[in-house]
């Protein structure tokens, strides 16, 4: 995990150094700047070493090619075997990007399995691309007659660039061939066929999920797990604990945050006891929230009320986890795949519309939930991994009828009360992993279950100097004021910021 800057046909090493310094929190282990000889291409990279810690330094320069990458390629060992180990000069998973490109295959990028953003330059060509759902960020802007690329918006602050935009998920830009959308989210299925074996579907989902977690735990350093006590993170932690146990390793380290006595802390403690993880907690207060707000907003690169609220506990969890590990698993993606949000209940009798909505929201995650997770964790130099967003798991989950994701009743675990159960097929597939009362626990948003909303209310009253309740409008104005005070060109940040309130997943 890391951050990078690339200047193509513009700028120099001095500018690259200034830009990478603004995102150096993404990679505290090493910072390097390199020019591709004989060209106007300069790249800078800050590294958090996860795979190939001894020789995985970047930028990677081989003959006439220069590469910077952010993320993890989980099938890099398989690709090495296919491409030929003798071609590789390092143990870095990122080097596989370079050799796949050199293979000359038309769709070489589609063979990368993982979360990534990268820029690759030859003497006369630049290529930039992003993973299928945009787990890893990548921005591009005009700089003179060339382009500037960066992992975060703040790298452009104070630089005379124009037309900053995010490279879309699953998209590749090639200065030789133009833009390509190399990945499209598969359309979700709607109604269940009459002869569909639901039990077999649930069992297969479990197998695919277990493979995804095992894959996303591959690292040369220890990987822990966030644990909110909710369904999604509990499933991931339970499977992660099993992966470590089967490998003969010690217990999984799990991390939970919340206000004193909050539901999330209590539920997470129960899950940790059940699965036998090595559990750590952090209890925060309204004073902690007030102190952290400027840091959260600066790194989040957004003043959106819902994003800020959800980023606060994520930041505290990242700080806690970073004391012990460099990487953590998270439960992001389950709500979008399996219909976990409150507003999804309105679709209970409309499986086709629900399937379409889930497909749509998967395509918007990069600018909301995934932006929050990336920025809040990387602010603390921590890598967040999202196994629910594994490509194989996405493919399988999208093939499951939406009618099995949101059900009016659950005859397997609930009495026939007419209640609507979200993520039904996911719960059924994992109901032996965790206590029944947790498997069928109703969803609470992270900022609610952790107690953030109540703590934030106290923090806001103190910051604004108001005795009564702070309105949402006042909250938003405060966040924007804080953001504007931290950037030379705040309008650029705001124009490109993630806005959760613009998408219905915030209902």
In the DSSP assignment, the letter for residue 343 is G
Q: How far apart are CA 286 and CA 452, in angstroms?
A: 8
In the DSSP assignment, the letter for residue 454 is H
Q: How far apart are CA 72 and CA 51, in angstroms?
A: 8
2 catalytic? Reply is yes
All residues at 6 or more sequence positions from 364 whose CB lies less than 8 Å from its CB, including other chains:
503, 505
Which residue in 64, 36, 327, 24 sits closest to 154, CA to CA? 24
Q: Write the DSSP assignment of 148-209 as a string of letters.
A: EEESSGGGGTTS--EEEEEPPTTEEEETTTEEEE---PPPPP-SPPTT--HHHHHHHHHHHH
Please give the C-alpha separations between residue 466 and each of 20, 136, 348, 474, in angstroms, as whole numbers: 40, 39, 42, 11
Say how many C-beta atoms besides its own lie within 10 A of residue 411's C-beta: 8
Beta partners for residue 30, in sequence order:
47
Residue among 2, 6, 407, 430 flagged as catalytic: 2
Beta partners for residue 407, in sequence order:
421
The phi and psi torsions of 46 (rounded to 5 degrees) equal -115, 130
285 class by beta-carbon count within 10 Å (0-12 exposed, 13-18 middle, 19+ buried): middle
End-to-end CA distance of the chain: 32
Say how many C-beta atoms besides its own lie within 10 A of residue 414's C-beta: 14
Residues annotated as catalytic are 2
């Amino acid at each position: 995990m890391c951050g990078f800057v690339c200047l193509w046909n513009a700028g120099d090493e001095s500018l690259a150094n200034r830009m990478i310094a603004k995102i150096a929190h993404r990679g505290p282990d090493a910072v390097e700047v390199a020019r591709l000889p004989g060209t106007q291409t300069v790249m800078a990279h800050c590294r958090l070493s996860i795979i190939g810690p001894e020789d995985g330094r970047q930028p990677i320069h081989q003959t006439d090619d220069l590469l910077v990458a952010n993320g993890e390629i989980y099938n890099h060992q398989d690709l090495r075997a296919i491409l030929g180990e003798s071609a590789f000069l390092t143990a870095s998973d990122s080097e596989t990007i370079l050799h796949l490109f050199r293979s000359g295959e038309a769709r070489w990028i589609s063979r990368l399995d993982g979360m990534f953003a990268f820029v690759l330059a030859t003497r006369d060509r630049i290529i930039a691309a992003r993973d299928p759902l945009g787990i890893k960020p990548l921005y591009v802007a005009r700089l003179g007659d060339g382009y500037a690329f960066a992992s975060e918006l703040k790298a452009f602050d104070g630089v005379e660039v124009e037309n900053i935009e995010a490279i879309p998920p699953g998209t590749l830009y090639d200065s030789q061939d133009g833009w390509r959308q190399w990945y499209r989210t598969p359309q979700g299925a709607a109604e269940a066929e009459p002869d569909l074996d639901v039990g077999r579907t649930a069992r297969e989902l479990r197998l695919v999920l277990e493979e995804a977690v095992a894959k996303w735990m591959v690292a040369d350093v220890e990987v822990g797990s966030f644990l909110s006590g909710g369904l999604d993170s509990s499933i991931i932690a339970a499977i992660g604990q099993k992966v470590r146990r089967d490998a003969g390793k010690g217990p999984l380290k799990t991390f939970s945050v919340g206000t004193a006595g909050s539901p999330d802390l209590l539920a997470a403690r129960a899950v940790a006891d059940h699965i036998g993880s090595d559990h750590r907690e952090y209890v925060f207060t309204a004073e902690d929230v007030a102190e952290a707000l400027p840091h959260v907003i600066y790194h989040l690169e957004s003043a959106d009320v819902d994003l800020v609220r959800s980023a606060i506990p994520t930041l505290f969890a990242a700080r806690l986890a970073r004391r012990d590990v460099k990487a953590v698993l998270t439960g992001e993606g389950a709500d979008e795949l399996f219909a976990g949000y409150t507003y999804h209940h309105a679709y209970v009798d409309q499986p086709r519309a629900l399937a379409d909505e889930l497909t749509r929201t998967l395509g918007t995650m990069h600018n909301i939930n995934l932006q929050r997770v990336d920025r809040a964790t990387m602010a603390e130099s921590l890598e967040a991994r999202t196994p629910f967003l594994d490509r194989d798991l996405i493919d399988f989950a999208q093939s499951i009828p939406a009618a099995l994701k949101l059900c009016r009743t659950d005859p397997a675990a609930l009495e026939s009360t007419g209640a609507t159960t979200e993520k039904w097929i996911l719960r059924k597939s994992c109901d032996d992993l965790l206590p029944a009362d947790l498997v069928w626990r109703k969803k609470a948003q992270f900022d609610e279950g952790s107690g953030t909303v109540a703590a934030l209310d106290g923090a806001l009253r103190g910051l604004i100097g108001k005795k009564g309740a702070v309105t949402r409008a006042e909250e938003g104005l405060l966040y924007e004021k804080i953001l504007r005070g931290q950037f030379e060109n705040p309008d650029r940040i705001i124009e490109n910021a993630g806005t959760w309130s613009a998408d219905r997943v915030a209902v």
